Amino acid sequence: MKAIYDAGATLDIAITLKDNMAKSKSGRVYIDAFCEERSIPITKIRNINDPESIQAIKDAEIDWLFIIGWSQIAKPEILNAPNLGCIGIHPTLLPQGRGRAAIPWAILKGLEKTGVTLFKLDEGVDTGPIIDQWEIPLSEETDARMLYEQATKAHYAVLSRILPLLIDGTAELTPQDNRLATEWPGRKPEDGRIDASMTCKQAHALVRAVTHPYPGAFYDSAEGRTIIWKASLERTSPSDKELKLSDGSLFCTVWERCD
């Protein structure tokens, strides 16, 4: 939203989840203050495809609808409501990594790079033509919080670069090569379980992949459940909590006990 205004464009309407529905969403951002400062009308909804959403978009007579950060799939009536179409941003380099949990999977898969893709939405899931992409390098120390922050900055960067072209109508759309497409499934909190059969490298990747803002990696013992927010392959302090795994020990540096 800031990138749109910094590029000299404006928003005619903002649509977000009702407050009581959004409390459990990872990384939820409240847009009320931003909209109030700029006199942007806000519509709070339960589902993007609700009649009130469709009517609000039609009434605003907008050119482009940006659908960013939504887990709900927009149906054709929403996609066809704006004059020019709908634009999404997906935190992978499409067509790689279509689907959900893009940030954890990029770390778990040990990729050398990921990124964000700006694309025009169609009726598929992350299948529409690409408008622009921004790469993000990854390392063996990258964790979910770091990648989340880098992806947020990349959202701003790619939007800032492409908005002038959208405004003057010169942005080019490139169809995705479906032969290169991969799909990543959704993840549940239970998928953060560390099993003793894992290698240290696998467990370390899991800790990094599901740390804040996600629910965290964990293991269960007779003492209860321990959530690990940060770990190291080597001991860094006498207070590190040692976790025995199939090929050695993982050292938990930030953790908490759940009784």
Low-confidence ranges of the chain (pLDDT < 70): 22-27, 259
**Residue 226 and residue 107: Cα distance in Å, rounded?**
22
Rounded-to-integer distance, Cα 27 and Cα 70, Å: 11
C-alpha 12/C-alpha 102 separation (Å) is 30
Segment 75-93, tens digit of pLDDT: 999 999 999 999 999 999 9
Report angle CA 62, 64, 66 to the nearest 5 degrees. Answer: 120
**Structural domain boundaries of the chain?**
2-184, 189-258
HSE-up of residue 32 (Cα within 13 Å, Cβ side) = 6
Note the pLDDT of residue 259.
67
pLDDT at 160 (0 to 100): 94
pLDDT value for 28: 75
Residue written as token pair 């464009």: 9
CATH 3.10.25.10 is held by the domain 189-258: yes
- Prediction pTM value: 0.90
Do 13 and 41 form a contact (C-beta atoms < 8 A)? Answer: yes
State the DSSP string of 126-171. S-SPEEEEEEEE--TT--HHHHHHHHHHHHHHHHHHHHHHHHHT--
What confidence score (pLDDT) does residue 222 get? 87
Other C-beta atoms closer than 10 Å to the C-beta of 62 total 17
CATH number of 2-184: 3.40.50.170
The amino acid that residue 162 corresponds to is: I
